[in-house]
Amino acid sequence: MYRLKNSDPVLYQIVREEFNRQKSGIELIASESYVPIEIMELQGSIFTNKTTEGFPGRRYFAGCHVVDKMENLGIERAKKLFNAEHANIQPHSGSQANQAVYSAVLQPHDTVLGLRLDQGGHLTHGNRVNFSGKIYNFISYGLNKETELIDYEELEDLAIKHRPKLIVTGGSAYPRFIDFKRISDIAESIGAYFMVDMAHVAGLVAAGIYPNPVEYADFVTSTTTKTLCGARGGFILCKEKYAKSVDKGVFPGSQGSAHLHIMAAKAYTFKRAGTEEFKDLMKQVVKNAQKLGEILKEYGLRLVSGGTDSHLLLVDLRPKGITGKALEEALDYVGITVNKNMIPFDPEKPMITSGIRIGTTAITIRGAKEEDMEEVGDIIKEVSENIENKNKLDFLKGRVLNLSKRLPLYNGDYDIV
Ligand code: DSN
């Protein structure tokens, strides 16, 4: 970044500061990953100069014969990876992918069922402060209080009672497999569309270690970040019969020009996620999450639903009498990044919470194995017991730094100069 260094040294220093933060810390935010360097190259590529609207072969701008090739390549790769009939890879984010499907099949005030945000869902699944909850009549379903799994019976009762036009599932803090077939059957029985937001688990789906929702859903939305470990954007998969309405829902329904530099990075993401190396990575991600879960349980914390089938753990901190906010801050101080998170039926407010959400994608990309999870788990335990003890936290900072050195970011093969 020598040009930036000369032309904007202030911004250059901020980039370096973030690089150092990422290098020297341990990242456990469940929606994060470290992208391959090729993704950064493509996101910073000359495709950023090109403006276009429409789809390959049907553009509103000239000079698109090259970007058409690139978009078609990305579409074909996405379809192949997930065994889908149609793919739209233009959504700028997961939220925009969801907005585009809603725009494709719903009218304002239509009724939709979605998983509650505070029980694992996502803002765009009908939260009242989000566009989804403002424009559409979302009815929320939740989890069974005992099992902390989706309450499929409640979902079915709500579906029969409210006759939604669309049922949405998937979310940001649900550690377990979702029974897509069961929800698909419910949707079919009342003539509703069925949409799965697989953003968190898309990499696991690509690797064949999480059920593929494409088999059951009319629409599948996702990001290419998170477990797919790629570009910062979104995409939609659907059956061929919905291709036209989904494309229209994206453009002109909810977006204007495409972000071609990000799209190129998505095309790379889909190729890489089909490799054996990626499958092995995803298997290790889940093994690491399960190992860390065991360690935290042994320490006396409670895992929502008892464990995980994925990259994600939702940890109930109440057995140790601490809040999500306090532990998030103390872990951040020592260099471990997590996010405070509501647990199901949480008595605390969203800015405090009784839980934290932990994901193992990023640390696994750095080469972490089960034995490293023992160290991570032990540091989390020590931090939990010493939240107010600055001297002890300062000591633990050293352990985090050692671990981060043992697991160098990009194998130490990337620098900003
Ligand atoms: N939905 C947020 C998360 O899961 O962290 C951001 O993608």
Helix (H, G, I), strand (E, B) or coil at 283: helix
| CA neighbours closer than 13 Å in the CB half-sphere of residue 366 | 26
Helix (H, G, I), strand (E, B) or coil at 166: strand
* Pocket flag, ligand 1, residue 130 (CB < 6 Å): no
The Cα 88–Cα 7 span in angstroms is: 38
* Pocket flag, ligand 1, residue 172 (CB < 6 Å): yes
Distance 189 CA to ligand 1 centre (A): 31
* Pocket flag, ligand 1, residue 31 (CB < 6 Å): yes
Per-residue pLDDT of the chain (417 residues; tens, 9 = 90+): 999 999 999 999 999 999 999 999 999 999 999 999 999 999 999 999 999 999 999 999 999 999 999 999 999 999 999 999 999 999 999 999 999 999 999 999 999 999 999 999 999 999 999 999 999 999 999 999 999 999 999 999 999 999 999 999 999 999 999 999 999 999 999 999 999 999 999 999 999 999 999 999 999 999 999 999 999 999 999 999 999 999 999 999 999 999 999 999 999 999 999 999 999 999 999 999 999 999 999 999 999 999 999 999 999 999 999 999 999 999 999 999 999 999 999 999 999 999 999 999 999 999 999 999 999 999 999 999 999 999 999 999 999 999 999 999 999 999 999
Residue nearest to atom 3 of ligand 1 (CA): 31
Distance 150 CA to ligand 1 centre (A): 19
Residue 119 buriedness (CB in 10 A; 0-12 / 13-18 / 19+)? buried
Q: What is the pLDDT of residue 114?
A: 98
Q: What is the pLDDT of residue 163?
A: 98
* Pocket flag, ligand 1, residue 124 (CB < 6 Å): no
Mutation pick for ligand 1 pocket among 29, 31, 123, 357 (CB with most ligand atoms within 8 Å): 31
For residue 113, list its beta bridge partners. 139, 167
Distance 357 CA to ligand 1 centre (A): 11
**In this structure, what token pair is assigned to residue 272?**
């890489």
Residue nearest to atom 6 of ligand 1 (CA): 31
**E-assigned strand segments in 274-329:** 302-303, 312-316
The Cα 240–Cα 376 span in angstroms is: 45
Ligand 1, residue 339: give the atom nearest the CA.
5
* Pocket flag, ligand 1, residue 122 (CB < 6 Å): yes
* Domains of the chain by start residue, with CATH: 40-272 (3.40.640.10), 276-412 (3.90.1150.10)
The Cα 89–Cα 150 span in angstroms is: 29
Q: What is the pLDDT of residue 93?
A: 98
Residue nearest to atom 5 of ligand 1 (CA): 31
The Cα 27–Cα 140 span in angstroms is: 31
Residue nearest to atom 4 of ligand 1 (CA): 172
